[in-house]
């Protein structure tokens, strides 16, 4: 029995030993003495070594692919047109819809500038014809002075070519990029050249060009050059560009751009043939051209050190005193003497021999000497009368007002701010519409990035009778026009879509907005009181019938005669009260002589209030 029990215990021990390996085995595994692991390591180590060697070779190969010589062979200069061809978004050609607008804008701006410089009232035709594959043909024709034949290729086929970049003068174009860039975009998207017809006089022959820009050299390539027999005006220019675009009505559309252009340029007549077949004509509201702006020299306060050094190297004047007096505005001989003395130089110092440290001292002295502000006769504002005429012609409102601030200066650059308001009438009762202009050109994109938008939001419009949610435009039937005129508008980018934030400009703009806002508040209060008086009159008139009926029962009276007599009495008494109220209100308004005598205000009464225009 004992023997059988012993055998059973041996069987159980063997089973347990099969489940649990001997401790010596576990120790040998942990110590790395197992044979299988050694074999595995022997196999892995050569593989790791080979992989490491391969990685070293690949890294060595990667390093050897670029040497100074090979990199030198790849380096080359690129032209400005090649840069903008690859970065066309910088010029506003972000998407097809915007590209269509920008191309029209550049052509119309050129047409307006050319007509005004030549003293011609602009008569402009804008045509957009739809083609296949989302392509459009834009044609803009003007009655301007035309373009000399030899200048046509460079103007339309070369970036940074123009007459306005080298002088400080108020104009729509500044950089010599716009129309050439539009033609370049058309070439890139359709492969078709720009077509130009220009005529310089009634006795001269019109010239027809087909050309495209060579982006690698920034030079025009002439495809066709011939005489053109028929041109509808005695002189003028027509440009036609095929491009990929998208036509859409509404905000930031070609339709809106031309309407705003007509408001800011009431002296222009614009005929517009839309892609959908509609024809819109914006007739001119005034028959006089705006005054011609003058070019000015840079002001010492607006010149940076690098520009000053460049001017010293390129000047035609040998003596520093002559350089300061001839190359800058508002620098007399006395002011020049103060500058050079403060800089430790002399009036006889040679401009070519001034060292960088001396130029730095000269630049510092220019900013420290008190110098008169630059002349402001170079600025050409729209003007209060023209703003009112443009708003009245295009916007159906009941109240209009405008103001033009006196010229001011930022960074040595003269500028002027204007504001116009249109209120009531057919305008919708929703957040106000802001119309932004720079040198008479509408700005339709990047509103939230524009200084003008921020200035409008900083005004407390509740003081002027309008509601205003926090951080937004006022709410009401209101359109706000803001215009910044300058010889050098500080745009935030080359696409000229928003104005940079300068304290001097923002301050002037807010003062102009407040001035117009006070007149608007006076009008809103007047309308509210007139409405209240009208409600009282209607209540009185409602009881006339009951009074007549009661009197008829008491005494024998002619009902019809009594009603007429009481109505006349009610009308005369309420009119007298209204007249006294209006006289009292306008005599004590925020303006000096009252709104009715204010030439900066137009009031159009609706039919309920007598169809009256002041």
Neighbours of 541 (CB within 10 A): 14
- Burial (0-12, 13-18, 19+ Cβ within 10 Å), 558: exposed
In terms of Cα–Cα distance, which of 612, 399, 614, 405 is closest to 522? 399
**DSSP state string for 331-385:** --HHHHHHHHHHTT--TT-BGGG--HHHHHHHHHHHHHS--PPPPSTT-----HH
User: How far apart, in Å, are the Cα atoms of 184 and each of 95, 111, 163, 247?
Assistant: 15, 19, 20, 20
Q: Looking at the structure, do residues 215 and 355 belong to the same domain, yes or no?
A: no
Q: How far is CA 13 from the centre of its chain?
A: 94
Helices 96-117 & 178-190, crossing angle to 10 degrees? 140
| pLDDT for res 161 | 77
DSSP 3-state of 165:
coil
Question: How far apart are alpha carbons 477 and 595 in whole angstroms?
Answer: 20
pLDDT tens readout for residues 456-468: 999 999 999 999 9
CATH number of the domain that 355 lies in? 1.10.8.50
Task: Tell me which of 282, 312, 339 is where a domain ends.
Answer: 282
Strands 413-423 and 194-199: unpaired
Tokens of 28: 């040998």
Task: Tell me which of 282, 308, 340 is where a domain ends.
Answer: 282
DSSP alpha helix (H) spans, 95-144: 96-117
Q: Looking at the structure, do residues 336 and 209 belong to the same domain, yes or no?
A: no
Residues 197/227, Cβ–Cβ less than 8 Å: no
In terms of Cα–Cα distance, which of 259, 197, 260, 203 is closest to 231? 197
Name the pTM for this structure.
0.76
Residues 136/129, Cβ–Cβ less than 8 Å: yes
Write out the residue range of the structural domain in which residue 419 sits: 379-614
| pLDDT for res 73 | 76
Q: Looking at the structure, do residues 239 and 91 belong to the same domain, yes or no?
A: yes
Question: How far apart are alpha carbons 52 and 47 in whole angstroms?
Answer: 9
In terms of Cα–Cα distance, which of 473, 469, 439 is closest to 455? 473
Q: Looking at the structure, do residues 181 and 314 belong to the same domain, yes or no?
A: no
In terms of Cα–Cα distance, which of 192, 95, 94, 90 is closest to 138? 192
Neighbours of 313 (CB within 10 A): 11
Residues 80/159, Cβ–Cβ less than 8 Å: yes
Question: How far apart are alpha carbons 11 and 21 in whole angstroms?
Answer: 16
Q: Looking at the structure, do residues 231 and 121 belong to the same domain, yes or no?
A: yes
| pLDDT for res 547 | 75
| pLDDT for res 530 | 66
Convert 350-364 to b/e letters by CB count within 10 Å (16 or more is b). ebeebeeebbebbbe
Residues of the chain with pLDDT under 70: 1-65, 162-166, 174-176, 530-543, 556, 570-594, 606-614
CA dihedral (325, 328, 331, 335) positive or negative: negative
The structural domain count of the chain equals: 3
> What does the DSSP 8-state code read for residue 604?
B
Instruction: Report if residue 520 sits inside a domain.
Output: yes
Instruction: Report if residue 525 sits inside a domain.
Output: yes
| pLDDT for res 26 | 43
| pLDDT for res 592 | 39
In terms of Cα–Cα distance, which of 520, 503, 297 is closest to 417? 503
| pLDDT for res 41 | 56
Strands 408-410 and 601-603: unpaired
The CA R_g of the chain, rounded to the nearest whole Å, is 39
Q: Looking at the structure, do residues 354 and 386 belong to the same domain, yes or no?
A: no
């Amino acid at each position: 029995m004992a023997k059988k029990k012993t055998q059973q215990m041996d069987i159980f021990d063997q089973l347990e030993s099969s489940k649990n390996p001997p401790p010596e085995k576990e120790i040998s595994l942990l110590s790395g003495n197992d044979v299988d692991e050694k074999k595995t390591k022997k196999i892995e180590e050569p593989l790791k070594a080979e992989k490491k060697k391969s990685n070293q070779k690949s890294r060595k190969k990667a390093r050897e692919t670029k040497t100074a010589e090979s990199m030198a062979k790849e380096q080359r200069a690129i032209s400005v047109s090649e840069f903008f061809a690859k970065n066309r978004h910088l010029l506003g050609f972000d998407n097809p819809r915007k590209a269509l607008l920008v191309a029209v804008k550049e052509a119309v701006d050129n047409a307006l500038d050319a007509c005004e410089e030549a003293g011609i009232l602009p008569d402009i035709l804008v045509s957009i014809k739809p083609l296949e594959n989302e392509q459009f043909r834009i044609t803009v024709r003007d009655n301007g002075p035309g373009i000399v034949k030899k200048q046509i290729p460079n103007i339309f086929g070369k970036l940074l070519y123009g007459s306005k970049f080298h002088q400080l003068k108020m104009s729509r174009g500044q950089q010599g990029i716009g129309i050439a860039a539009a033609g370049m975009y058309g070439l890139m998207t359709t492969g078709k050249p720009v077509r130009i017809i220009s005529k310089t006089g009634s006795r001269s022959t019109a010239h027809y060009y087909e050309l495209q820009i060579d982006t690698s050299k920034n030079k025009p390539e002439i495809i066709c050059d011939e005489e053109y027999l028929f041109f509808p005006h005695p002189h003028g220019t027509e440009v036609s560009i095929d491009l990929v675009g998208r036509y859409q009505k509404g905000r930031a559309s070609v339709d809106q751009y031309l309407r705003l252009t007509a408001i800011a340029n009431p002296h222009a007549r614009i005929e517009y043939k839309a892609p959908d077949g509609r024809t819109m004509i914006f007739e001119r509201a005034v028959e006089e051209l705006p005054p011609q702006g003058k070019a000015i020299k840079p002001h010492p306060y607006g010149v940076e050190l690098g520009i000053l050094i460049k001017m010293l190297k390129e000047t035609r004047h040998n003596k520093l005193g002559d350089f300061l007096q001839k190359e800058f505005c508002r620098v007399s001989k006395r002011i020049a003497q103060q500058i050079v003395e403060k800089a430790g130089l002399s009036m006889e110092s040679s401009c070519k021999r001034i060292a960088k440290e001396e130029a730095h001292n000269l630049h510092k002295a220019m900013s420290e000497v008190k110098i008169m502000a630059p002349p402001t006769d170079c600025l050409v504002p729209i003007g209060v009368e023209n703003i009112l005429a443009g708003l009245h012609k295009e916007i159906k409102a009941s109240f209009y007002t405008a103001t033009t601030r006196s010229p001011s200066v930022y960074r040595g650059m003269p500028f002027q701010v204007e504001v116009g308001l249109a209120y009531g009438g057919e305008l919708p009762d929703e957040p106000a519409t802001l119309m932004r202009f720079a040198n008479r050109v509408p700005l339709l994109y990047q509103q939230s990035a524009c200084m003008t938008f921020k200035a409008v939001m900083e005004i407390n419009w509740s003081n002027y009778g309008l509601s205003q949610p926090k951080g937004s435009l006022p709410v009401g039937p209101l359109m706000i026009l803001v215009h910044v005129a300058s010889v050098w508008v500080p745009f935030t980018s080359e696409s000229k879509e928003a104005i940079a934030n300068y304290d001097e400009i923002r301050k002037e703009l807010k003062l102009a907005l407040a001035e117009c806002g006070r007149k608007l508040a006076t009008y809103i209060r007047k309308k509210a009181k007139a409405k209240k008086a009208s409600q009282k009159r209607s209540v009185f008139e409602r009881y006339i019938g009951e009074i007549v009926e009661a009197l008829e029962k008491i005494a024998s009276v002619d009902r019809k005669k009594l009603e007429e007599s009481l109505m006349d009495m009610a009308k005369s008494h309420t009119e007298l009260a209204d007249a006294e109220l209006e006289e009292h209100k306008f005599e004590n308004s925020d303006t000096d002589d009252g709104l009715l005598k204010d030439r900066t205000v137009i009031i159009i009464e609706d039919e309920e209030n007598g169809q009256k225009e002041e």
